[in-house]
A = this chain, B = another copy of it.
Amino acid sequence: MTGSVTLHDVARRAGVSLATASRALNGSANRVVGEALRERVLRAAAELRYSPNAHAQAMARRRTRIIGLSLHDIADPYFSAVAAGVMREAETHGLLVTMASTGHRPGAETDYVGAFRRHWATVVIVVGSRTDDRAATDRLAEELAAFEAEGGRAVAVSQPRLPVDTISIDNRAGARDLGHTLHDLGHRRFAVLAGPADLLTAAERVDGFREAVAHRGGRLAPEHVVPGPFTRDGGYAAMQRLLDEEPDVSCVFAVNDVMAVGAMAALRDRGVDLPAGMAVAGFDDIATLRDVSPALTTVRIPLEEIGALAVRLALDEGADRPRLRRVAGEVVVRASTPRLPA
């Protein structure tokens, strides 16, 4: 960068010292600057289009107003909803959000937390399912601990496996409730599009659903639990593979909405009538997908609110950390899972 106007320039133009210029510009806590000088400084700053150097301020103040946010993929509406909540809340506190997408690359979260740490972010928020890779989780935990040891505040939106404040979505209970609801609608023969095998979020949803089916005496054959990517195309492909087996099921649970929509597309492409030919349910209640038809039965997660809560939690000087906040999902029945005629 070249040619930027410094506080020095402002002070000189106003005919005051650096200290006075600094105080006039951001009214330092205990100091008051005489009205006349203050005016002169402000005018000089305006005339020069002075903009303070945030790094110099960070150095002198030993802290910043930056939130570091790590997530898996901003184009995924799940993450963009959480990010929107984070950004909304950040703005009300005058904080700037630096965001990094892992693209599901292992180790990326740790790298990014390191980057946020180097930037003296005041808060770091890590959102996304943990995996079954213990070593990776340990490394991330270590980096977060180092960040907090330096005075930063970290919050995870994930399973509670990190040594920081955590917002944990109750995937298991949500999926269980959904399973019970589908049973109540008359369904007994289920299949599950299970998502990636190593993702804890996917595993929890499958487990919860399986529990409900078992508890009510329904049927969920192991070969009808089909793994695959956590994406629209993953849902599409998993549904295709499932259909190839001509399964005797009346209802498919895709472990997130994006996959459920892919599954619906696959069903249609195979000529299955929806919702009569197959009931489909998802998870998350993605806003952008609320108008698919038939409207998708799902488990609503308050994603934006979770993002905002993460910021509030980080900024709240509570004792007894790390704290755990559990967020429950709520089953929303829509047209995609009609009652099964008895």
Q: Which residues on A are within 8 Å of B, measured CB to CB? A: 1-4, 49, 51-56, 58-59, 62-64, 66, 73-75, 77, 80-81, 83-84, 87-88, 91, 96-101, 103, 114-115, 117-120, 146, 149-152, 232, 258, 261-262, 264-265, 268, 286-293, 304
Residues in B neighbouring A80, C-beta threshold 8 A: 74-75, 77, 80, 83
A119: nearest residue on chain B (CB-CB)?
Answer: B54
The answer for the CA separation of A151 and B1 in the assembled complex, in Å, is 4
The 6 A-B pairs at the shortest CB distance, nearest first, are namely A75-B84, A1-B151, A80-B80, A55-B55, A55-B58, A54-B118
Write the nearest CB–CB distance from A271 to chain B, whole angstroms: 14
Contacting pair A88 B101 (CB below 8 A): yes
Among B98, B291, B304, the residue within 8 A (CB) of A98 is: B98
Contacting pair A103 B88 (CB below 8 A): yes
Residues in B neighbouring A96, C-beta threshold 8 A: 98, 100, 115, 119
The answer for the CA separation of A23 and B75 in the assembled complex, in Å, is 39
The answer for the CA separation of A237 and B87 in the assembled complex, in Å, is 27
Residues in B neighbouring A54, C-beta threshold 8 A: 55, 115, 118-120
Residues in B neighbouring A87, C-beta threshold 8 A: 74, 99-101
Residues in B neighbouring A115, C-beta threshold 8 A: 54, 96
Among B3, B55, B114, the residue within 8 A (CB) of A64 is: B55
Number of copies: 2
The answer for the CA separation of A220 and B50 in the assembled complex, in Å, is 51
Contacting pair B291 A288 (CB below 8 A): no
Contacting pair B51 A114 (CB below 8 A): yes
Contacting pair A53 B91 (CB below 8 A): no
Contacting pair B101 A53 (CB below 8 A): no
The answer for the CA separation of A174 and B235 in the assembled complex, in Å, is 32
Write the nearest CB–CB distance from A265 to chain B, whole angstroms: 5
Contacting pair B51 A117 (CB below 8 A): yes
Q: Which one of A54, A58, A75 has the highest number of Cβ atoms from chain B below 10 Å of its Cβ?
A: A75
Residues in B neighbouring A77, C-beta threshold 8 A: 75, 77, 80, 288
The answer for the CA separation of A285 and B28 in the assembled complex, in Å, is 51
